[in-house]
Structure 1
C-alpha cells in the first residue's frame, strides 16, 4: 500500500488542534531583503508567517490545503496574505514570483515520493533564480520508539520511515540520501540540526537546510 498524498481531511479536523514549533533561523532570514516576496508553503495557522512579519518582512504569503487552518491564520496574522491551495501543489503564480520560500515540517506530511517531487518542482518554478528555500523537517530518528514504528508500518506503506500517528496522520521521516536527491535543482548554502518538539509534543531532532535555486 502506498502512502497517501492527500491528507486534507486530517488537517481540516484533528490537525487544527496541533502546535508547530520548528524555529526560524534569524541569521538565515537576514540574508533576505525586507521587501522580498516570501512564500510560506504549508503555512498551517500562520505561526511562521507571524515570525517573518515580526522580523520586519512586509510581503509574506502563506498557502495551505486546509481551509480551517487558513481561517485561523487570517485571524491571527492579518498583516500577511493567505490562500487555500485549490490544486496542490500547484500555485496560481507566474514563474519566479518569490524571492524566498519556507517549507517547515511539510515534507513529513507528504509521505508519497511523487507528491514530494511535484511539490519541490513547483517551488523551484515559483522561486526566482538564486532565490532561497528554507527547509525544516525530519530525517530518520534513532530512538527506539521511532525505529519500532518505522518497522511496524514498513510493510503497510512500502517504505521504512513512513508511519501512522495514533490520531490518524500518515507522516514520513527521511533518509539523508533522499533529501539530497530531492533538491537536485538547488545548491546547498547551509545546514544545521536542532532539537524540536513534534506536533504531538514529542522530542525530536530537526534538520534545517538553506538552499538556493540553481
Structure 2
C-alpha cells in the first residue's frame, strides 16, 4: 500500500497517478497509513487513502492490520460495493477485529466513461479538487471515524470531473502538526503551481517539496490523480 499506484497497460481508467509515502521523523514507520489505486472489473477506478490509529495500530501489528483492511476494501470494491457501503463495512470490520482502534479514510470510485467521481469519507481530511488555477475542498458527505460508532451510516457525494482536473488525497500527517489547523488552506495555496503542471508526478513532487522536509510525528501518504 506504499508502492507507486498504477493501472494495467491499456486500462481505461484514464487517470494519471502519483503517490508518496513520507515516514515519521521520530523512529520506525508507524504502519497505519495507506494509499491505494486499482482498476475494477467494470473498468472503474478505486482510489483510497486512510490512517489506522490506536491500540495495536502501529508497528508490525499495525502494518498487518492495515494490510487486512486494505485487502477487505479491495475485495468489497471488486464485488461492486459503492464507497458509502465500503466505509460502513470497514467500520464494522474495525469494530469487531481491531478493538480500541480508530481509522480515517477516503474512498473514491471513478467512472472514466462519464468522468463521475463518487466518494465517501470517514472522519478524514478533505478531498481537494484543483481546476483552472484554483483549488477547493469538496463538500464532504457525512461519516464518523472508522471504529467510533458501531453500525454508523456513511453518505456519498458525487462530482463530475473535467479533463486536466487534479484530485489530491492525503493523510493528516502530511502537514506538520503545528500547521494542522491550516492544512487545507496551505495545500490549496499550491493551486497555481499544481494546475500548470502536466503530470501527476510533477504535482506530487511540488507537494513533497513543500512539506516533505518538515519534521513529522506521524507517517503520511499522498495520492494525486489527474483526469486525462
- Alignment TM-score, normalising by the size of structure 2: 0.32
- Alignment TM-score, normalising by the size of structure 1: 0.33
The structure with higher relative contact order (CA 8 Å, sep 6+) is: 2
